Amino acid sequence: MPPQEEPSIRRARLVRAVLIALFFLAVAILAGVHFLLPAFSSKGLPGKFMNAVAVPGPRGSHRLWVLSDGSFHYISRRESPGRISVARKCKFCKTWTSVYDPGQKTVLVKFKTDYKTIIIHSWMAYAGGKVWIATDAYEDNEPRIFVYRTEAPGLIQETADIITAHPELTSGLIKLRMERDPARLVLDTRDGRVGLVLVLGEEKVYESESERRKATAAADEERTTIFALGREGSGPRRILFQVTGPRGRLKESSLELELNSPQTLLASSRATAERVAPDRFFIEGLIVSQDAEGCLILHQDAAGRTANRLLTCFDAGGSEKWTAGPAELFKEMNVDLDQDPLSAIFFLKDNLDVSRSGSLVLLQLKGVGLIGFDFETGRKLWEIRL
């Protein structure tokens, strides 16, 4: 007769078997969520929010094109003699591009894009009647570009098509990023070219940013008026100006510093500045969007390590239209440096984008979601968290 196992050994084996079964059950559930849930999510947006653009729809409405990360993320830890490495990885690495009707709260159509590893940098733009999506290289991921038509939404070009259309890119891409005003891709190629500029909508490649500026030199000399914030003293208070001068000169980053002494603008920049809203100041203020009809300023309700953030809209004449308070914004935008040092404005602005399309002000916070406001009244239209 074979020897009987001790009860404690049998219990240990049973516990081990149960733990193994639970592990495989958890894996099966996760796989089911990532493979099956998107098929049943026609009423919702799948994945973690990355980027969005607003596209004009029928009868003055807007459709949102939303890029989200549908990957399963995990932390990989590897140990070897004298070394420990920790890295973020993903399984089922992919993005979803969804066309969303915020009025009906419905996903109209969505497109899946598979990747080899996690997506670190991504951008979207609406230009020339098309939606452009770009993701940068990271580990096994190569730079990728996708172009969609907005009527009867569908993919019409991707990276290989863009390369074929432009001889300067024939060797292939190794790096990219997207810049605004105008929307353009800055590209590095495998044959050593650095900083090629593809202007979206125009779809022309320039050898460098300086070459693009030369081509637009005549337009840059046109006089225009923009909003700009200057410092009040050496502290966090900002004051609002309207500055008139050559379009190209007013885009330069030194303008805020020059507004510390507005009288110097005429000599150095052929520009003039006039303070507007003289009874207002903005703590750690930042102009997040502006056009010919007004500007939007993100600022704090107090200085210090904790504060709420506000969004204030001014019309073209410099009169305040409305202010959205902390209850109408994402709580993740508030300042709480004791708990979240990334809340500082110079970190926040890399994850925040505010734009306007007709009557819609679109605020998006990467990794969190989107909020829509009415430009005329400031009424909050909807909030979408992913």
Residue 93 has pLDDT above 80, yes or no: yes
Q: How far apart are the first and last CA of the chain?
A: 62
Nearest to 185 by CA among 134, 223, 138, 139: 134
> Please, which pLDDT band fits residue 34 given cuts at 50, 70 and 90?
very low
Q: Which residues pair with 48 in a beta bridge?
A: 69
- Report the distance separating Cα 38 and Cα 42, nearest Å: 8
CA dihedral 126→127→129→132, nearest 10 degrees, is: -60
Which pLDDT score, from 0 to 100, does residue 270 have?
79
Q: Which residue has the higher pLDDT, 254 or 241?
A: 241
Hey, is 56 helix, strand or coil? Answer: strand
Find the mean pLDDT for residues 319-325.
96
pTM for the complete prediction? Answer: 0.83
Q: What is the DSSP string of 229-280?
A: EEESTTSSEEEEEEEEEEHHHHTSTTHHHHTTSGGGHHHHHS-EEEE-STT-
Q: Which residue has the higher pLDDT, 112 or 336?
A: 112
How many residues are listed for the chain in this entry?
A: 386
- Report the distance separating Cα 192 and Cα 179, nearest Å: 21
Residue with tokens 């070219």: 193
- Residue 50 identity (one-letter amino acid): M
- State both tokens at 328: 């109408």
Contacts of 193 (CB under 8 A, 6+ apart): 168, 171, 187, 207
- Report the distance separating Cα 148 and Cα 157, nearest Å: 7
- Report the distance separating Cα 100 and Cα 102, nearest Å: 6
Which pLDDT score, from 0 to 100, does residue 304 have?
83
User: Residue 277: what are its φ and ψ, rounded to 5°?
Assistant: 50, 60
- Most confident range (mean pLDDT) of 8-17, 49-58, 270-279 is 49-58
- Report the distance separating Cα 287 and Cα 258, nearest Å: 16
Which pLDDT score, from 0 to 100, does residue 365 have?
95
Which pLDDT score, from 0 to 100, does residue 24 have?
55
- State both tokens at 144: 């990728």
246 neighbors 262 (Cβ within 8 angstroms):
no
Find the mean pLDDT for residues 273-294.
93
- Report the distance separating Cα 351 and Cα 41, nearest Å: 26
> Please, which pLDDT band fits residue 6 given cuts at 50, 70 and 90?
low
- Residue 26, classified by CB atoms within 10 Å of its CB into exposed (0-12), middle (13-18) or buried (19+), is exposed
Find the mean pLDDT for residues 161-174.
96
Q: Which residues pair with 301 in a beta bridge?
A: none
Residue 164 has pLDDT above 70, yes or no: yes
Q: Cis ω on the peptide bond leading into residue 182 (within 30° of 0)?
A: yes
What confidence tens digit (pLDDT) does each residue in 68-91 have? 999 998 988 787 777 887 788 899
Residue with tokens 């891409």: 173
Residue 381 has pLDDT above 90, yes or no: yes
Q: Which residue has the higher pLDDT, 256 or 26?
A: 256
Residue with tokens 């970190």: 347
184 neighbors 198 (Cβ within 8 angstroms):
yes
What confidence tens digit (pLDDT) does each residue in 285-308 have? 999 999 999 999 999 999 888 899
Which pLDDT score, from 0 to 100, does residue 76 have?
82
- Report the distance separating Cα 139 and Cα 116, nearest Å: 9
> In the sheet where 360-365 sits, what is the strand order?
352-357, 360-365, 369-374, 380-385
Q: Output the CA–CA distances (angstroms, integers) from residue 195 to 163, 330, 383, in the order listed.
A: 15, 35, 37
Residue 96 has pLDDT above 70, yes or no: yes
- State both tokens at 208: 């460098």
> Please, which pLDDT band fits residue 341 given cuts at 50, 70 and 90?
very low
Average pLDDT taken over every residue of the chain: 86
Which pLDDT score, from 0 to 100, does residue 113 have?
97
Residue with tokens 């050496």: 234
> Please, which pLDDT band fits residue 335 given cuts at 50, 70 and 90?
confident
Residue 144 has pLDDT above 70, yes or no: yes
197 neighbors 205 (Cβ within 8 angstroms):
yes
